[in-house]
């Protein structure tokens, strides 16, 4: 994702090895990237009131949804992505989501770390591929499990 490199260059002249970032730093940026992609995908479906857009977006960005998504994507991840996921999942966050179990929160953090790593590595296509497959798997899960 050339944009991420351009953003870095605009605000800093030093290059840092992305592998040196803490998993929680990767999750921090991954959370924002994921949220932006999901919001964009939801808006692309239809022009709706903001409250409706928010209601739909929450279905994908909650920790329980992200935990289900990453479980569905595990066989899709490369070894490098698995390694980043494990680092993110095993990190010790300072907070926990109020509507998720500790396990769900850790899985979601691992997923966000993968997305952050890929984004900062300039791999926009891979980020979009994983998010699209993840949203499709979550929609399929909701169809099977919710009334």
Catalytic site residue from 6, 13, 31, 125? 31
Contact between 116 and 140 (Cβ < 8 Å): no
The 10 Å Cβ neighbour count of residue 69 is: 23
Is 31 assigned a catalytic role? yes
Alpha carbons 71 and 73: distance in angstroms, whole number:
5
Annotated catalytic residues are 31
């Amino acid at each position: 994702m050339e944009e991420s490199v351009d953003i870095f260059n605009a605000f800093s002249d030093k290059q840092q090895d992305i592998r040196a970032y803490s998993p929680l730093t990767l999750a921090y940026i991954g959370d924002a990237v994921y949220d932006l992609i999901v919001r964009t995908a939801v808006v692309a479906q239809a022009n709706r009131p903001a409250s409706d857009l928010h209601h739909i977006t929450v279905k994908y960005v909650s920790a329980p949804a992200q935990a289900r998504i990453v479980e569905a994507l595990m066989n899709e991840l490369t070894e490098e992505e698995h390694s980043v996921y494990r680092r993110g999942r095993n990190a010790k966050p300072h907070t926990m989501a109020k509507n998720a179990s500790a396990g769900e929160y850790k899985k979601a953090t691992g997923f966000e770390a993968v997305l952050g790593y890929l984004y900062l590595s300039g791999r926009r296509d891979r980020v979009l591929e994983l998010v699209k497959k993840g949203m499709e798997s979550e929609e399929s899960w909701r169809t099977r499990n919710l009334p």
